Amino acid sequence: MTYMKSLRCVVIGCGRMGHAHSERLAVDSRSNLVGFFDADPNMATQLRDRFAPDAAVFETVEDALSQSNADAAVICTPTTAHASQVRAAASCNLHVLCEKPLGANRDEILELIHLSRDRRELHFMLAYQRRFWAVYRRMKEEIDSGRWGNIVGITAVNTERWQQTIAGTWRDEPDINYGGFLGDAGSHRLDSLFYVTSLRLGDVSARSSKAGSQVEIVTLVNGELLDASDRDVPFSLSFFGNSSTFHEELFIHCENADLIVRDFQLFIGRDNDIQKIDLPPEQSGPDATHNPVVGFLELVTGAAGNISPFECALPVFDMTTSILESAHSRTPKS
């Protein structure tokens, strides 16, 4: 297939992530912003005026997808809109970069996975950003190398000033934001677990609190993941969405070393000694130079493969569901 020199992109959803992706697309010579849509036209107009004054603002999603002369759609709307908008984009023969979570329920996710497999002439990518960060890619390389032995355990902590920012937004609506902090920001942690370890879901036992909000804010999880030989790998995860600070820490405990991500830096621990693995700082974190937009442009232009296909949404959804069911019923789930 021959690809265009500059990918014409239409942005669907002009909130926080629509702004972030538009900013990245606007400065990349491989892309050209040609249209914007948001349920609030003022939001779309503001992004247009800031990043692509010559682009169009559309009144409906359908018009944005069919009349923008785009090659690709970047979907940044609330989760419940993703399935219909991905289908509509595919029907207009557009490549798709979709924000996570992919769908509001398991059936939607399976449907979109099948769609991505059936439409092989198009590219479909899910914006799980940690897959693009150097710290997690290097962590995966170290684990896959086998030099540190089998994984024997996992511990992780995620804290964020999240609850303080969601009042009056769709993120505080349980019918839209499944799982609250766990399902939204926490989904990156679950995806990074599956990405770096290649393990699969076993049993979980969880507790959760809405802490005064309408969605889950604090979630504590213990359980087991399973390796290719069905060997149990115990894990413990903590999600605090009402912290005053951001902190992200992941320990992959192997037989011969601990691999540690701590706030966008990678460390290796051996014999009670922890050493930093030097990686370019600009390649990890929220402002990383390698991010879903860059990965998507590389994918569509044929420069790289798809490291975040729609298939990666399913284990994250299944684990989120098991955690929430256990928390709500106060019984372990598998």
Q: Are 125 and 309 in contact (CB under 8 A)?
A: yes
Q: For residues 64 and 70, what is the distance between their CA atoms, to the nearest angstrom?
A: 9
For residue 157, pLDDT beyond 70: yes
Q: Report pTM.
A: 0.93
Residue 1 has what pLDDT? Answer: 39
| 289 torsion bin: left (phi>0), alpha (psi -120 to 50), beta (else) | alpha
At 2-49, the pLDDT tens digits run 445 799 999 999 999 999 999 999 999 999 999 999 999 999 999 999
* Listed residue (269, 226, 254, 233) closest to 146, CA to CA: 254
Residue 331 has what pLDDT? Answer: 74
For residue 333, pLDDT beyond 90: no
Domains and CATH numbers, the chain: 7-122 (3.40.50.720), 130-284+310-329 (3.30.360.10)
At 211-236, the pLDDT tens digits run 999 999 999 999 999 999 999 999 99
Residue 334 has what pLDDT? Answer: 63
pLDDT average, residue stretch 40-60: 97
Q: For residues 36 and 126, what is the distance between their CA atoms, to the nearest angstrom?
A: 19
At 137-154, the pLDDT tens digits run 999 999 999 999 999 999
At 61-85, the pLDDT tens digits run 999 999 999 999 999 999 999 999 9
Q: Are 274 and 260 in contact (CB under 8 A)?
A: yes
Q: In what order do the strands lie in the sheet with 31-37?
A: 56-57, 31-37, 7-12, 72-75, 95-98, 124-126
| 129's tokens | 């950003």
For residue 119, pLDDT beyond 50: yes
| 111's tokens | 């449907």
Task: Provide Rg for the chain, Cα atoms.
Answer: 20
Average pLDDT over all residues of the chain: 96
For residue 332, pLDDT beyond 80: no
Q: For residues 261 and 189, what is the distance between their CA atoms, to the nearest angstrom?
A: 11
User: Before 286, cis peptide (omega within 30)?
Assistant: no
pLDDT average, residue stretch 97-107: 95
> In angstroms, how far is CA 105 from the centroid of its own chain?
16
